[in-house]
Amino acid sequence: MKITVSTLVAAPMEEVWRAYTNPEDIKCWNAASPDWHTTAASVDLRPGGKFSSRMEAKDGSFGFDFAGEYTRVIPHQLIEYAFGDRMAQVEFAESTQGVSVNVQFDSESTYPEEQQRSGWQAILDNFARHVTGKLAAR
């Protein structure tokens, strides 16, 4: 089953793309809740290139690597990647209101669909706040 989450970021495409693909930015926004953080990130943004984000509970009780390989990249439009035996697709579309970011991913069987959807949506919401916060700080 595929799950889709989305957000609208009130920012230019160049800023949205950079924040989504830059390891330093990823470390700022890639967490589903305030008690988690991403301590390291790497991005080789090309088909066949690898990515990894080290996600850890802030209390040190648990951590894991979210890692995979990019399968398709169209700058400012699309990122597709494989992680384990699952796939995800991130679409970027610019409009007069900003950039729509839609993420569709294969669900997994360990956690309920709604928990997966809410976790990925929380991360995407953090992403949108990060980008608009960076622009406001300028």
Q: Where are the beta strands (DSSP E) in 44-97?
A: 50-57, 63-74, 78-83, 86-95
Q: Using 50, 70 and 90 to split pLDDT, how confident is the model at 3?
A: very high
C-alpha 94/C-alpha 79 separation (Å) is 15
CA 104 to chain centre: 11
Model pLDDT for residues 44-87, shown as the tens digit of each residue? 999 999 999 999 999 999 999 999 999 999 999 999 999 999 99
Which residue in the block uniquely carries the two structure tokens 């997994």? 108
Set out the domains of the chain in order of their start, with CATH numbers: 2-32+73-136 (3.30.530.20)
Look at residue 95 in the predicted model and tell me its pLDDT.
Answer: 95
Give the HSE-up count for residue 28: Cα atoms under 13 Å, Cβ half-sphere.
Answer: 16
